[in-house]
Amino acid sequence: MSPFLTPSHQARVIFYHIVIVTVGVTERGQVKDDTQSGRGRSIARRDFVNGVLVASTMGVAPLTSSRAATSGGPYVPALTGMRGSAPGLFEAGHALRDHALGSHHTQDVDELYDLVIVGAGISGLSAAHFYRKYAGSNKKILILDNHDDFGGHARRNEFDVDGTRLVLNGGTLEIESPGRYNRWARTLLDDLGIDLARYRRDCAPVERVYEAHGLTHGVFFDSATWGRDEMVSASLRRGGVHWSFIDADMVARMPLSPRAKADLLRLIDPAQPDYLGALDVAAKKTLLATMSYKDYLLTVARVDPGVYWLFQKALSGVFCVGADALPALFAWMYGYPGFSGLGLGEAPEGLLSDLPGGQHGRQRESGEDVHFPDGNATIARLLIASLVPGVTKANTQEAMAGAHLDYTALDRPGAAVRVRLKSMVVHVAHDGDPAKGGTVALTYSPSGEAHPAQMTRVRGRQVILACWNMVIPYMMPELPEAQKKALSDAVKGPLVYVNVALRNWHAFERLRVSEILCPGSFFDEVALMEPAQIGAVQAPHDPARPIVVRMIKTMGQPGLPKREQYRAARSLLLSLDFATFEREVRGQLQRMLGPGGFDAARDIAAITVNRWPHGYAYTYNSLDDPLDWVFTETDDRPCVRARQPFGCVSIANSDAAASPHTDAAILEAHRAVEEVLERSTFPFVVHR
């Protein structure tokens, strides 16, 4: 029976997911207690900081100890437990925000660099690359980052399970629409020797490995939301996404009311009615741009609330909010159902794709996306290899796939480029009048400590802030107030990528699914790793062998504007410790896969939670922002006003393009380097 999900019902579901850490999961399916799910059975170590579980290693042996970082310490990509923005790495940032850093001693070190870059993500590393390329390899560069790994969201996760090495992205997924990449992003890929055509050829023999095993798309209905746990697999594997694989046979097997089933069949029918017949096409598109997909489904298409609940997380993996904050026009452009009768025509290929970064929701998907096994961590690792040669000898995409990096080589005295991790910059200020140039002093806290006994100050002739826009006003008080306000507009979207290493994938084969949507569950999507092979990394072939499963959770809080959802979701995400995620991983996988013979206690080898409370860059939303911000390249957009240079400081990040795409981060890096070179070449040109 399809539930009528009132706001109070939705609140109870959200609350239920939070309190489940104490009450167990007996009401939601097959897992009756922690012992049955295996939670805690094979955990090698738990460290608690202020009550938060910060690291956990599961499996027959601690996976983190099998590969050292050359110095004997843990190899960062192989760490499990809470990763991403993990405890101990961001507290100084929060203290800075709260004006609570307190008193400390600052040590001035004798380090003056030609360029200091704050942020070792794709944008910061790209800025270093372009600067060396144009200014010369003899220039001294320091890159500071608060995390314990480089790449920003382009993070790599590694697992060693029963002798099988597994690699998956812990953040940025893919090179999206590479044919539409801007000039400088394409140049960077060429400079690094990335050959996407060669990679596609190498992966072609394995791209249909799941299809060869008879695996399709699936939808999992959980008992807390739908009355019973039910896995409904597609009849055939179709190439589409966003529910385009639904057919009448699937609908018949879904735990929906008769009315909901009828409404869903109508919604996916190419011959459905024109719900906006009184309007011309221009008026229809204007209305859809200013109406949420939720309102469109419930008040225009008039579907049963149970049908809406199926789609309430529509495009949440893209925008970090659900259908209540998603313009209906974006849902149409991405191929969601309900629009085939409106006569809107086809969205032109590459529509608006030349705007900086190609913002999500403003163009059709190209189908040419490229996903390396570790996502865009491959780009970050190749950048590091070119910037700091002592880190690895690998210099091709094939060699990098299996390369073991020496993290101790990142920050060696005397090197032309030094990358200093676990260093949270808390203050940036010119030594004198910004209008007269000179040097810039940067103070950072070791390991992100909120109350360090000592901080360190270095100096740069030029500075590029390649960190988050929203932290810049706090670290650089001398900026003009109008620019601080524009920087604060870029509220980032929280999300979580949880990678679960399994000892086998028999259950997926028996249930005939490889990608599963989970409306109402704690995790929104569950999928087997994408089949890819490159260098030492091989694609999965044998269901008896280990594999990695990706579980995605977005944290939108329905009923609030997009920016407010992000703020509320970030607070919620930071309140969830690893123990919560572990319980939810084990419980949801057991309920979903138990009928296929899955045993969470036996089959789960390791869990890595990639927590990104400051995840995707804010993209303008036509429900809350002016239409010209969303659909034009106007300089009035806050992202343009925020990225203006000031004195010897430039700004480069994905926020500067209001786009979370990798090519946006690279584009903004190149712009910032151009500003740096202009100031260096023409010192009488200042920015204030």
Q: Give the residue with greater pLDDT, 432 vs 101.
A: 432
- pLDDT surpasses 70 at 33: no
DSSP string, 646-665: BTTEEE-SGGGGT---HHHH
Confidence of residue 34 (pLDDT cuts 50, 70, 90): low
- Per-residue confidence (pLDDT) for residue 261, from 0 to 100: 97
Q: Determine the pLDDT at residue 363.
A: 55
Instruction: Give the pLDDT band of residue 230 (cuts 50, 70, 90).
Output: very high
Indicate if the pLDDT at residue 79 is higher than 50.
Answer: yes
CA torsion through residues 311, 3, 624, 153, sign: negative
**Do 468 and 506 meet the contact criterion of CB atoms below 8 Å apart?**
no
Q: Residues of 177-204 as b/e, b for ≥16 C-beta within 10 angstroms?
A: bbebbbebbbbbbeebebebeebeebbe
SS3 46: strand
- Cβ neighbours, 10 Å, residue 453: 9
Question: Is 432 inside a domain boundary?
Answer: yes
Determine the pLDDT at residue 182: 87
Q: How far is the C-alpha of 470 from the C-alpha of 309, rounded, in Å?
A: 33
**What's the confidence (pLDDT) of residue 62?**
32
Whether the predicted pLDDT of 55 surpasses 70: no
- Residues forming a β-bridge with 465: 118, 651
Task: Residue 29: name the closest of 591, 682, 604, 639 by CA.
Answer: 591
Orientation of helix 7-23 relative to helix 578-593, angle to 10°: 100
Q: Residue 281 domain-assigned?
A: no
CA distance 248 to 234: 10
Taking residues 407-417, what's their average pLDDT? 97
pLDDT of residue 90: 81
Check: pTM over 0.75? Answer yes or no: yes
Q: How far is CA 519 from the centre of its chain?
A: 20
* Token pair of 584 as six digits: 């939810």
Integer-rounded Cα Rg, in Å, for the chain is: 25
pLDDT of 16 > 60? The answer is: no
Instruction: Judge whether 203 lies within some domain.
Output: no
DSSP state of 143: E
pLDDT tens, residue by residue, 236-256: 655 554 577 899 999 999 999
Task: Using the predicted structure, report yes or no on whether residue 673 has a pLDDT greater than 90.
Answer: yes
Chain centre distance of CA 71: 30
Q: Is the pLDDT of residue 129 over 60?
A: yes
Residue 52: name the closest of 645, 581, 632 by CA: 581
* pLDDT for position 235: 81
Closest CA to 442 of 159, 108, 170: 108
Q: Is 49 helix (H, G, I), strand (E, B) or coil?
A: strand
Q: Is 634 exposed, middle or buried (0-12, 13-18, 19+ CB in 10 A)?
A: exposed
Q: Residue 46 pLDDT > 50, yes or no?
A: no
Are residues 549 and 605 in contact, defined by beta-carbon separation less than 8 angstroms?
A: no
* 438 domain residue, yes or no: yes
The pLDDT value given to residue 4: 31
What was the pLDDT predicted at 460?
Answer: 98
More confident residue, 508 or 105: 508
Eight-state DSSP code of residue 483: H
- Please give the tally of structural domains in the chain: 1
Q: For the purposes of burial, counting CB atoms within 10 Å of the CB of 529, is it exposed (0-12), middle (13-18) or buried (19 or more)? A: buried
**Predicted confidence (pLDDT) at residue 89 exceeds the cutoff of 60:** yes
CA distances from residue 104 to 98, 353, 420, 461, 478 in whole angstroms, order as listed: 16, 48, 21, 25, 21
Residue at 339 is within a domain: no
Q: How confident is the model at residue 100 (pLDDT cuts 50, 70, 90)?
A: confident
CATH of the domain at 476: 3.50.50.60
| The pLDDT of residue 682 | 86
**pLDDT value of residue 368:** 79
Judge whether residue 44 has pLDDT over 70. no
User: Between residues 3 and 642, which one has the greater pLDDT?
Assistant: 642
Name the residue range of residue 457's domain.
101-150+410-490+640-681
pLDDT tens digits for range 351-401: 666 565 555 455 555 667 899 999 999 999 999 999 999 999 999 999 999
Question: Which residue in 547, 462, 467 sits closest to 508, CA to CA?
Answer: 547
Residue 67 is predicted with a pLDDT of 46
Average pLDDT over every residue of 293-317 = 96
pLDDT class of 477 with cuts at 50, 70, 90: very high
The answer to whether residue 200 scores a pLDDT higher than 50 is yes
Predicted confidence (pLDDT) per residue in 545-601, tens digit: 999 999 999 998 999 999 999 999 999 999 999 999 999 999 999 999 999 999 999
Interacting residues of 71 by C-beta distance below 8 A, sequence separation 6+: 407, 408
The pairing of beta strand 513-517 with beta strand 216-221: parallel
Q: Is residue 655 part of a domain?
A: yes
pLDDT of 215 higher than 50: yes
CA–CA gap between residue 209 and residue 640 (Å, rounded): 45
pLDDT at position 23 is 29
CA-CA distances (angstroms) from residue 141 to 105, 120, 127, 340, 414? Answer: 25, 12, 10, 54, 11
Q: Among residues 439, 512, 599, 443, which one has the least CA distance to residue 36? A: 599
Does any domain span residue 33? no
pLDDT of the residue at 53: 32
The CA distance from 610 to 153, in Å, is: 9
More confident residue, 56 or 166: 166
Q: What is the pLDDT averaged over residues 32-61?
A: 41
Residue type for position 296: Y
The structure tokens 């239409």 sit at: 627
Task: Please give the span between the terminal C-alpha atoms of the chain, in angstroms, as a whole number.
Answer: 63
- What pLDDT is recorded for position 48? 28
The tokens describing 69, both together, are 């970082």
Please state, rounded to an integer, the average pLDDT across all residues of the chain. Answer: 87
Q: Per the domain annotation, does 5 fall within a domain?
A: no
pLDDT digits (tens, 9 = 90+) for 478-514: 999 999 999 999 999 999 999 999 999 999 999 999 9
